[in-house]
Amino acid sequence: MLQPLTTSTIRVFVLEDNPGDLHLLRAMLSDVDPDDYSVTAADCLADALDLLPDGQFDLILSDLNVPDSRGLDTFRALHDRAPGVPVILITGLHDESSALEAVALGAQDYLVKDGLSTDALVRAIRYAIGRNHAEQERRQLVAILEATTDVVWTASPSGRLRFLNGAGRRLFGIDAQEDVSRVRLEDYYPSWTATLMQEEAIPSAIRDGIWLGETAVLARGEAECPMSQMVIAHRSPAGGLLYLSGIARDISERKRTEAHLAHLAHYDPVTGLPNRDLFRDRLNLAMHRATRHGTLLAVLFIDLDNFKDINDSLGHSAGDDLLRQVGMRLGECLRSEDTVARLGGDEFTVLIEDLESFERLQVVLDKLLTELSRSLKVADTEVFVTASIGATLYPIGDADADTLLKQADAAMYQAKSSGRNNYQFYSHELQLRIEHRLMLATDLRRAIGRGEFHLEYQPQVDVRTGQVRCVEALLRWNHPREGMISPSIFIPIAEETGQIASIGEWVLQEACSQCREWRAAGIPHARVAVNISARQFRLTNLAETIRAALDTSGLPADALELEITEGLMMENIAASRAVLRELQAMGVEFAVDDFGTGYSSLAYLKDLPLSHLKIDRSFVRDLPGDANSVAIARSILAMSHHLGLSVIAEGVERQAQFRFLLAERCDAVQGFLLAAPLRAAEAEALLRNGVRLPDAD
C-alpha cells in the first residue's frame, strides 16, 4: 500500500557513475512533476559520502558498482553514513544477487536498470519512503516503551502474552532473549491480583474498553509490589476484540508515603507509640467489646515524676531518648494486645483489655512502678525516673472514653499528691469497692472448704394447681465477717477469678443430692433447677460436670433443669447448641433465665433445645398496670407457646400480677407472693403439699 506523503518535494540523492543512466533517472523523475523531486547526484562514493551527511535527503538511489567501490561495500558505506535514509539500489541484470543481499542488510528495495519504467521507479520510491517512515515511527514508539519505567504489555484475547517491555522484564526478572509468549502473567501476580484480573479487570476492560485499579506483582517472583494498573481492550473497526494491553506503574513509593502519613496522624513521632487520637479510637472499640462480652478493662494515666529535671539538665534529645525508653519499658510490662500511648510531654496512657481480675491489675501496676524505677541510661548518664499512675476501670466506673481518660488523669493527680511513685484508683469509692472486691475474691477461695455456702430453694409454682413443678437452687454465702452476701455480688467475682468452675460444681452436687434425698423421702416428682453462668459454660466441660453430679447423687437426669441466661446462649449459638443437645439427650431440661434483658429474639432461641422460658422480673414488676409491660408479657407468652416453651414468670410479689398471669395462661410463677427462697426442710414441705394459691379474683 502506498503511504500518502505530505512533503511537497522528495529529495533524492543519486550515486551513479554512468552519465547516461543518471540523465535517464533525472528525466524520469522530472517527468512526473518537476516540483515533486529534487535530485542531487554524485558519480563516485567518495563524493557521495561527502555530500550525504550535509543534505537532508528522503531517499538514496544508488548503483552498486562505481569507480571507487563495488558491490555490497557501496551499500554498506552509504547506509553507515546516512542510516535513517532508505536506499533503493539500481543494478544491472548481473548484479541481482548482490542487490538481494543488500536488501537483507537493510536496503529498502532494488530496481533493474534495463527496462525500468518511470512508473515502477516512482512507485518504488514512494513505497520505500513510506515504509521507512513507518519503520522509524515504530522504532521511536518501541524506544519509548523500552525507556519508560511503567510496565507495558500486550496479550491476545485469550490472555497469552505478546509483548512485555523492558520495565516489565526487569520487574519480573525475565531475560530480553526469553520468548514472552511462554510467560504466564498469573505466575507473577499474587493470587488476589490473579483473581482480580481474571474476574474483574479483564471482563470490565472488554465490556467498557478500559479498567483502572490497584493490583500487585511479585517483583522478581518474590516481594509483593503494589501497582496501579490500566487494562485496555483493543477492538477492530468491526468491533471484534483484537488484543488487550496493560500499563502498570509501581506505586510502592506512594504507598509508603501514604502509610507514613497515616502513621504520622496516629503515632507519636518521638516514641513511635500511638498518639491520643489512636488511643481514643482503641479505647472506644475496647469499651464496646467489654460491654458485649461482659469483660473488664482498665485505663491508666502515667505521668513521670521528674522528667522535667532530666530534660532541663541533659537536654531535649536526651529527654526524647528517655521517653522512648520509658515507652519501651511500659510495653514490656504489658501484653502485646494492650495499648501504650503517649499523649504528649511526659504523659503516657495504657489500655488493658480483658482484665481477668483486680488482683491482676494490681500485679500490673506494681510491676509498672518497679520497672519504671529501675535506672535508665541516657546521654551516657544513669538516671532514675519514677511515675505516678492513675487508674480507672470500665464498666465498673460507667463512662465514655473521654470521661475514662479524665478519671484516670484525676487519679494520677491523686497519686502525685500522695507522694508520687505510686498508683491510685479513680475516686475513693471506686478504690474502696475495688479493695472490697479484692478481699471477697480472696475469701471466696476458702468459702467451699470452710463450709460457708449453702443452697436455698425457691419453688416454681403451677398457676392452676399450686403444685411445685420445680425448685430453683439459689446459692448463699455466709461470709464470716460480712454475713450474707448476695450472689449477684459474688457470682461475678467468682466468674472473673475463674472460681465459678469449682463453685458451680459444688452447687450442682449439692442440688442433685438434695433432690435425690427428697425423692427418696417420698416426693417422686421433686425436681431442681440450677443456674449456670456464662463463664462456667465456657470454662468447664459442662456435660461432664453434670454427668458426674447425676452419677454421684443417683438423681435421674429428667429431675434436673438448668437455667441459662439468654445472653450466654446468644454469645455462641453453635457451641451452646452442641452442649445443650448432648445434655438434652440425657434428659436434662433447659430454661432461658431473665428473658427480655438480653438482645436475643425468640427466633434464635427456637434453634436451641429449650423447654422453658423465664420472663425477667423487670417485666413482671409493673404488671398489670403498665401498658408496655402488659404488651411485652403478652407477646412473650404468645410467642413462647407458639414455640412450645412453657413460661415461668419471675419475681411475682402481688396478687394482681398473679391474676394477670393466670388469665394470660402463663404456666408457672415464682416469687415472694408464693414462696421466698427457702431452706431445704421448708422447701420439702411445699414440694410435698403444694402452695396455697391466691384467690382467682
User: Of the two residues 385 and 475, which places its CB atom closer to ligand C2E in the complex?
Assistant: 475
CA torsion through residues 59, 64, 67, 70, sign: positive
Least distance in Å: CB of 482 to ligand C2E? 15
Least distance in Å: CB of 530 to Mg ion? 9
Query: Which of Mg ion, ligand C2E, none has residue 604 at its interface (CB below 5 to 8 Å by kind)?
Result: none
653 is an interface residue for ligand C2E by CB under 6 A: yes
CA–CA separation, 668 and 527 (whole Å) = 14
Least distance in Å: CB of 422 to Mg ion? 42
Q: Which residues ranging from 664 to 693 are in contact with ligand C2E (CB under 6 A)?
A: 670-672, 677
Provide the strand spans (E) within 566-624. Answer: 589-595, 612-615
Please state at what angle helix 680-689 crosses helix 500-520, rounded to 10 degrees. 50
Query: Which of ligand C2E, Mg ion, none has residue 388 at its interface (CB below 5 to 8 Å by kind)?
Result: none
User: Of the two residues 327 and 504, which places its CB atom closer to ligand C2E in the complex?
Assistant: 504
List the one residue from 305, 443, 462, 563 that touches Mg ion (CB under 5 A): 563
Taking CB under 5 A as the binding criterion, the range among 225-233, 644-652, 670-678, 686-694 that sits at the site for Mg ion is 644-652
User: Of the two residues 491 and 647, which places its CB atom closer to ligand C2E in the complex?
Assistant: 491
User: Of the two residues 594 and 667, which places its CB atom closer to Mg ion in the complex?
Assistant: 594
Q: Which helix (H) or strand (E) holds 14?
A: strand 10-15
List the one residue from 487, 598, 690, 694 that touches ligand C2E (CB under 6 A): 487
* Burial 184-214, CB ≥16 within 10 A → b, else e: ebeebbeeebbebbeeebbebbeeeeebeee
C-beta atoms surrounding 33 within 10 Å: 10
Q: Is 83 exposed, middle or buried (0-12, 13-18, 19+ CB in 10 A)?
A: exposed
User: Of the two residues 496 and 563, which places its CB atom closer to Mg ion in the complex?
Assistant: 563
489 is an interface residue for ligand C2E by CB under 6 A: no
Q: Which residues ranging from 552 to 611 are in contact with ligand C2E (CB under 6 A)?
A: 563, 593-594
Entry field: residues in the chain = 697
CA–CA separation, 432 and 374 (whole Å) = 30
Side by side, which strands form the sheet with 347-355?
339-344, 347-355, 296-304, 387-394, 423-425
Query: Which of ligand C2E, Mg ion, none has residue 671 at its interface (CB below 5 to 8 Å by kind)?
Result: ligand C2E
Least distance in Å: CB of 676 to ligand C2E? 7
Q: What is the DSSP string of 291-321?
A: HHHT-EEEEEEEEESSHHHHHHHH-HHHHHH
Least distance in Å: CB of 251 to ligand C2E? 56
Q: Which helix (H) or strand (E) holds 388?
A: strand 387-394
Residue found under cell 427466633: 603
User: Of the two residues 13 and 518, which places its CB atom closer to ligand C2E in the complex?
Assistant: 518
| 3 state SS of 477 | strand
| 3 state SS of 375 | coil
Least distance in Å: CB of 629 to ligand C2E? 15
Which residues, at least 6 apart from 288, have a Cβ–Cβ distance to it below 8 Å?
none
CA–CA separation, 480 and 449 (whole Å) = 13
Dihedrals phi, psi of 153, to nearest 5 degrees: -140, 155
CB 580 within 8 A of CB 609: yes
Q: Which residues ranging from 165 to 194 are in contact with ligand C2E (CB under 6 A)?
A: none
Least distance in Å: CB of 531 to Mg ion? 4
| 3 state SS of 644 | coil
Least distance in Å: CB of 310 to Mg ion? 58
Q: Is 506 exposed, middle or buried (0-12, 13-18, 19+ CB in 10 A)?
A: middle
List the one residue from 339, 531, 536, 600 that touches Mg ion (CB under 5 A): 531
List the one residue from 91, 271, 392, 458 that touches ligand C2E (CB under 6 A): 458
List the one residue from 364, 467, 651, 660 that touches ligand C2E (CB under 6 A): 651
Residue found under cell 510467560: 183
CA–CA separation, 571 and 562 (whole Å) = 17
Least distance in Å: CB of 489 to ligand C2E? 9
Nearest to 241 by CA among 284, 202, 282, 297: 202
CA–CA separation, 282 and 292 (whole Å) = 15
Q: Give me the 519-538 binding string for ligand C2E, x by CB under 6 A, dash otherwise.
A: ------------xxx--x--
247 is an interface residue for ligand C2E by CB under 6 A: no
Least distance in Å: CB of 522 to ligand C2E? 26
Cell numbers describing residue 25: 533517472
CA–CA separation, 101 and 106 (whole Å) = 9
CB 355 within 8 A of CB 296: yes
Taking CB under 6 A as the binding criterion, the range among 209-217, 598-606, 645-653, 682-690 that sits at the site for ligand C2E is 645-653
Count of residues that bind ligand C2E according to CB under 6 A:
25
Least distance in Å: CB of 271 to Mg ion? 49
What is the number of the residue whose Cβ is closest to ligand C2E? 671
User: Of the two residues 58 and 472, which places its CB atom closer to ligand C2E in the complex?
Assistant: 472
User: Of the two residues 191 and 488, which places its CB atom closer to Mg ion in the complex?
Assistant: 488
Query: Which of Mg ion, ligand C2E, none has residue 677 at its interface (CB below 5 to 8 Å by kind)?
Result: ligand C2E
Least distance in Å: CB of 680 to ligand C2E? 14
User: Of the two residues 343 and 503, which places its CB atom closer to Mg ion in the complex?
Assistant: 503
Query: Which of Mg ion, ligand C2E, none has residue 168 at its interface (CB below 5 to 8 Å by kind)?
Result: none
User: Of the two residues 16 and 593, which places its CB atom closer to ligand C2E in the complex?
Assistant: 593
Query: Which of Mg ion, ligand C2E, none has residue 304 at its interface (CB below 5 to 8 Å by kind)?
Result: none
Query: Which of Mg ion, ligand C2E, none has residue 458 at its interface (CB below 5 to 8 Å by kind)?
Result: ligand C2E
User: Of the two residues 378 and 661, which places its CB atom closer to Mg ion in the complex?
Assistant: 661
Least distance in Å: CB of 409 to ligand C2E? 36
CB 506 within 8 A of CB 448: yes
User: Of the two residues 95 and 593, which places its CB atom closer to Mg ion in the complex?
Assistant: 593
CA–CA separation, 474 and 683 (whole Å) = 12
Least distance in Å: CB of 487 to ligand C2E? 4
Binding site for Mg ion (CB under 5 A): 531, 563, 593-594, 650
Binding site for ligand C2E (CB under 6 A): 458, 474-475, 486-488, 491, 504, 507, 531-533, 536, 563, 593-594, 617, 650-653, 670-672, 677
